[in-house]
């Protein structure tokens, strides 16, 4: 991926070198983390173990800086800030074309655990977007985990795909799609709600593809082989693959993110077409046609 020298966003905060805040564990924090873990399709028991092990969230902004960032951390911050700027430029333009205003999200880099507007979260939940504070939370060591433990890729464009998927959740929040699915949580059975979760997640993958479509048109950041690395990761985080690896069998009624095949297909569709009019398809097509 060609990104060096690109504009770096200022909407990023690096808490990896800050003093961890001492926070009360348990209660609401754990509950919310469990919900996040469920949304991400990870095993909540794993998260519970991490919480019990006493993962301490890195403090909120303004906390004392404890040490210099390492060279590797500096580079990962530059990369994340540049990808974030690519998303700001693309979505600002696309929203403007539609007569809307794009309000960019914040991004927080952390290690081990983090305090968020959605509760405390350990790194084990993976990257996520918190709608309450409109912030994407990312522990960059996740990418190595994605490669080593989940069989994905930690290539730069694959990392950008993961970030763009989380930014996709922010776009859904601005456009009202997240709210539609939130309401389903109250009214639908667990099985039906899971299907709405899959629709929302595949739409976030589609949005990541749309971002890549306009982004590379403008900044030419996609290089040969890049899309393959992102698709390797999209396959690795498909529900069917995760379930099969975890316990040897799959149960489609419990899918919350979509299969490897669906995730790659919708990213590729977004990348190929850049067509934002098709966003609603993800909510309107029969479930069996996704």
User: Which residues lie near Zn ion (CB under 5 A)?
Assistant: 201, 204
- C-beta of residue 46 within 8 angstroms of C-beta of residue 124: yes
Least distance from C-beta 166 to Zn ion, angstroms? 7
Q: Which is nearer to Zn ion, 18 or 173 (CB)?
A: 173
153 vs 173, which CB is nearer to Zn ion? Answer: 173
- Both tokens of residue 244? 């099969």
Left if phi > 0, otherwise alpha if psi is -120 to 50, otherwise beta: which for 262? alpha
Angle between the N-to-C axes of helices 28-40 and 44-52, in degrees from 0 to 180, rounded to the nearest 10: 150
- Cα separation of the two ends of the chain: 29
Task: Retrieve residue 258's tokens.
Answer: 């979509």
Q: How far is the CB of 201 from Zn ion (least distance, A)?
A: 5
CB of 289 to Zn ion, least distance (A): 21
Min dist. Cβ of residue 204 to Zn ion (A): 5
Take residue 284 and report the two structure tokens written for it: 């309107």
User: If we measure between CA atoms, which residue out of 23, 47, 10, 239 comes closest to residue 126?
Assistant: 47
Q: How far is the CB of 156 from Zn ion (least distance, A)?
A: 20
Least spacing, CB of residue 29 vs Zn ion, in Å: 21
* Residue closer to Zn ion, measured from CB, 20 or 238: 238
- Among residues 23 and 39, whose Cβ is nearest to Zn ion? 39
Q: Which is nearer to Zn ion, 232 or 257 (CB)?
A: 257
Task: Return the number of the residue (160 or 204) whose C-beta is nearest Zn ion.
Answer: 204
Helix or strand run (H / E) with residue 95: helix 71-97
Q: What is the DSSP string of 225-263?
A: THHHHHHHHHHHTSHHHHHHHHHS---GGG-SS--HHHH
Q: Which is nearer to Zn ion, 39 or 69 (CB)?
A: 39
Tokens at 1, concatenated: 């991926």
Residue 242, CA distances (Å) to 163, 194, 251 in order: 20, 16, 11
- Residues 157 and 86: their CA atoms lie apart, in Å, by 12
Closest distance of CB 136 from Zn ion, Å: 11
């Amino acid at each position: 991926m060609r990104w060096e020298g690109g504009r770096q966003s200022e909407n990023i905060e690096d808490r990896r070198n800050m003093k961890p805040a001492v926070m009360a564990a348990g209660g609401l924090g754990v509950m919310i983390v469990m919900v996040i873990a469920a949304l991400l399709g990870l095993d909540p028991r794993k998260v519970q173990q991490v919480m019990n092990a006493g993962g301490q969230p890195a403090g909120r902004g303004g906390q004392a800086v404890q040490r210099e960032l390492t060279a590797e951390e500096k580079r990962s911050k530059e990369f994340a800030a540049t990808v974030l700027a690519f998303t700001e430029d693309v979505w600002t333009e696309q929203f403007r074309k539609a007569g809307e205003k794009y309000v960019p999200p914040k991004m927080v880099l952390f290690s081990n655990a983090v305090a968020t507007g959605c509760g405390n979260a350990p790194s084990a939940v993976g990257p996520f977007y918190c709608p309450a504070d409109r912030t994407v939370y990312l522990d960059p060591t996740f990418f190595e985990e994605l490669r080593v433990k989940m069989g994905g890729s930690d290539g730069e464009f694959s990392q950008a795909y993961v970030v763009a998927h989380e930014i996709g959740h922010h776009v859904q929040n601005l456009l009202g799609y997240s709210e539609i699915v939130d309401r389903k949580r109250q009214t639908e059975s667990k099985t039906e709600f899971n299907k709405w979760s899959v629709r929302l997640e595949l739409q976030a993958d589609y949005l990541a593809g749309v971002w890549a479509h306009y982004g590379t048109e403008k900044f030419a950041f996609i290089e040969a082989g890049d899309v393959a690395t992102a698709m390797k990761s999209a396959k690795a985080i498909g529900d069917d693959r995760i379930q099969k690896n975890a316990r040897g069998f799959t149960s489609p009624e419990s899918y919350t993110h979509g299969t490897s095949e669906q995730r790659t297909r919708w990213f590729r569709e977004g990348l190929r077409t850049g067509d934002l009019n098709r966003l609603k398809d993800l909510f309107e097509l029969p479930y069996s046609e996704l």
